[in-house]
Structure 1
Amino acid sequence: MPLSPASTPDEIVDHLRSLGSVENRACMARCRISTERALGISNAALRPIGKLLGQDHDRALALWATGIREARLLAIFTDKPKQVMRAQADAMAAGFDSWEVVDHAAHLFCAAGLAHQIIPAFAADEREFVRRTAFSMIATACLHLKKEPDPTFLGWLGLIEAHATDGRNFVKKAVNWALRQTGKRSVVLHAPAFGLAQKLATSPDRIARWIGTDAVRELSAPRTLERLEARRR
């Protein structure tokens, strides 16, 4: 039965099960995507399904509740950001088990206007994927929250510095990502972000040094500086 905007969660899940692929699951595992609850459907195949279904908040909640990776991604793609509240974000975060789902949810939470609430709270949370959410949201906000003023990101640099010694793989990579994106967002933010990167690069902590050194490399790259100069004009 073809899917439509009127399709029920059960119909959607049945359709997803018909598209599953063992080969895709193996590829996901190599990319360190959790496959315990995955059917094996690429995002390239899921995105058109999401566009076909359209936005529906209640349906998104039901799809998320299935626990299936692909259904959860469709929930994120098709939820209505204006109806996503903090309680929902907290409940979703409790079930995060993959960097991929986290990074897509970061877009939803930013679009829902929850960045100021979630970022400091989730950064303070000890759960690996919850903390990653905070820094994925900073990186996402740098790219997509065009109207957010620079002082907001200056404040979040303090969170980046505070958690630059968290050696867990999915946290340290998100902290690094957040620092690099902050430095590339604007001419005003480049200097403080680059300064923090230089500071971390000389840290006695191995993780902080890696984050700082990698960020210094990108933030001092000619193409990065050229783009920032172009924005100044």
Structure 2
Amino acid sequence: MLRGQRLGCLSIRKGGSVDTHVEAVLAELAALEDPRMRQVNERHGDDHGVNLTKLRGVAKARGTDHDLALRLWATDDTAARLVAILISRPKSFEASELDSMIREARAVKVHDWLVNYVVKKGPHAEELRVAWLDDPDPVVASAGWALTADVVAKRPELVDLPGLLRTIDAEMKAAPDREQWEMNSTLAAIGIHHPALRPQAIEIGERLEVLKDYPTPPGCTSPFAPIWIGEIVRRQSAG
């Protein structure tokens, strides 16, 4: 586990005066709050009610501003943290900062964006992937598995693919929900990108039946690994 100082929740006062830039962002986000959207988001583990397209507009108006991103993150407000991720400079974070942030990112969308928009684009992704995979906190471990799925697709020489399949086979069925989801993503990535291991990946998915009954909207691909693998491979062959 990486050890670093936690960022904590800082005041929105800067240099003894009110941080007007942070307050302006918070005010814009408050004006965009939709109680009905908050209800929907809260069912998915996200405690905010701001339309993400509009939230991206708030971020776009600021451009890249890493210092403001750090101050917005410190507010501990979910919508503000999403803006912070969008305006941050991924390569400017230290590994210890990202380790602290992933432990603070309990909202699902914040966690997902932090991994995909910041960690994957920075220089510490592999170091953090290895550190997080075996973390006792399943939410942190899920970030390690999300990074592993990406490595399986893009840099498979960094991982032991048969070893990953053995771990998934032994642990995915009983894993906590968020960790299970990313382990399943890794299983699907192995089946999609590595034809020699595809039959084994499909067999594991069929036997464990993880996410087999997950409700999938029309037009979307089921996250059940055997279906997911088959559909993506079919599309690749057709293309």
Q: Specify the alignment match of 2:59 in structure 1.
A: 50
Partner of 2:32: 19
| CA shift digits 1:45-72 (9 cap, x unpaired) | 1112212211111111111110101000
Q: Could you tell me how far 1:128 is from its partner in structure 2?
A: 2.6
User: For 2:86, what is the secondary structure of its paired residue?
Assistant: helix
Cα distance, 1:190–1:55 mapped onto 2, change above 3 Å: farther
Alpha-carbon contact 2:95-2:124 (below 8 Å) kept: yes
Deviation larger for 63-72 or 97-106: 97-106
Alignment match of 1:113 (pick from 94, 104, 123): 123
* C-alpha contact (below 8 Å) 1:172/1:211 kept by paired residues: no
SS at match of 1:167: coil
Gaps of 5+ in 1: 1-6, 203-207
Kept in 1: contact 2:78–2:107 (CA 8 A): no
1:67 to 72, 76, 81: 76
| Counterpart position of 1:150 | 156
Question: 1:171 is matched with which residue: 147, 169, 179?
Answer: 179
Task: Tell me if the contact between 1:200 and 1:209 (Cα under 8 Å) persists in the aligned partners.
Answer: yes
More helix by share: 1
Asked if the contact 1:175–1:211 (Cα under 8 Å) also holds between the matched residues in 2, the reply is: no
Partner residue, 1:192: 197
Which structure is higher in RCO with an 8 Å CA cutoff and minimum separation 6? 2
Q: Please give the alpha-carbon distance, in whole angstroms, between the structure 2 residues aligned to 1:166 and 1:77.
A: 34
Partner SS, residue 106 of structure 2: coil
Q: Distance in 1 between matches of 2:199 and 2:83?
A: 37
Change (3 A) 1:171 1:18: same
Alignment gaps of 5+ in structure 2: 1-19, 213-222
1:90 equivalent to 2:99? Answer yes
1:99-158 deviation line (CA, Å, top 9, x unaligned):
221111111100013221111211211213211212223345567xxxx43323555835
1:225 to 210, 226, 233: 233
What is the TM-score of this pair, normalised by structure 2?
Answer: 0.75
Pairs aligned (count): 207
Runs of 4+ in structure 1 off by over 4 angstroms are: 140-143, 153-156, 158-163
Question: TM-score, normalized by length of structure 1?
Answer: 0.76
1:183 corresponds to 2:186: no
Q: Deviations over 1:60-85 (max 9, x none)?
A: 11111101010000111111011022
Supply the RMSD in Å over aligned alpha carbons: 2.7
AA aligned to 2:156 is: D
